[in-house]
Structure 1
Amino acid sequence: MTRWFRSYWDEQDTWFYFEVGTDDWVRRQVELEGPALRPIAAASAEDDDARCGFTAELPVTDREGHVEEPLTFEEFEDVWAAARRHLMAPEA
């Protein structure tokens, strides 16, 4: 079963949004940095576009110290779409 959640890492002042499968491997991942929540990654395991970053290299169950805040599919999709638009936009 697919699930969606977010976690905050205060050392990096970054919110991580995850879509994970039943195996706990990340399918899609968004990273929003700082108080402005600037998108720095919106990566998909099926996408190799370096402009959008890369997904975690470990299953999320292997990460220590993170607290999962559940999200709905729609909440994740809104953040995903906004981050992808930002990262894929032509540079001015």
Structure 2
Amino acid sequence: MLSYVRWYWPEEDRWNYDELDTDRWSLRHVELRGDGEVLAAASLAEALAARDSGGGGAVVTYERRFGVVPEAPFPPPDGDIEPVLETLSAGEFEQLWRHARNQLERAGSS
């Protein structure tokens, strides 16, 4: 079963939103700067598909456009500070995901 969380990283003034699988791996990740600017809306499945179809260069291109999906279970077990997690509904995450992707897709096509 999937879960949806949000957490704030004060050092970078970033809100992070993640769709997590049962092992706490992020399947989709959204980052917003404190002022609301979309910084990332990345999907693990899409990043893996880019790697499988185009190698490292395709992944770099994907990550430049959509950002990076965290590459470890969340939260990291060896992290110095464990962020406070707030839960979201699937609907709230989907709405945010669509908004963030639209923003990055428009920025990438200009």
The equivalent of 1:43 in structure 2 is 42
- Is 1:61 aligned to residue 75 of structure 2? yes
Q: Could you report, residue by residue, the CA deviation over 1:14-71 in whole angstroms, capped at 9, with x for unpaired residues?
A: 0000000001100000000122x10010000011322101100111031532111100
Aligned to 2:75, what secondary structure does the other structure show? helix
Partners of 1:85 and 1:54 in 2: how far apart? Answer: 17
Partners of 2:22 and 2:75 in 1: how far apart? Answer: 11
The equivalent of 1:70 in structure 2 is 87
Amino acid at match of 1:71: L
User: How many positions carry a matched residue from both structures?
Assistant: 90
Q: Residue 75 of structure 2 contacts residue 82 of structure 2 at CA under 8 Å; is this kept in 1?
A: no
Partners of 1:47 and 1:88 in 2: how far apart? Answer: 14
Q: Kindly, what percent of the aligned residue pairs are identical?
A: 39
Flag the structure with larger Rg: 2
Partners of 1:61 and 1:69 in 2: how far apart? Answer: 13
Q: Which has the higher helix share?
A: 2
Root-mean-square deviation over aligned CA pairs: 1.1
Q: Which runs of 5+ in 1 are unaligned?
A: none
Partners of 1:44 and 1:4 in 2: how far apart? Answer: 14
TM-score, normalized by length of structure 2? 0.77
Q: Which runs of 5+ in 2 are unaligned?
A: 48-61
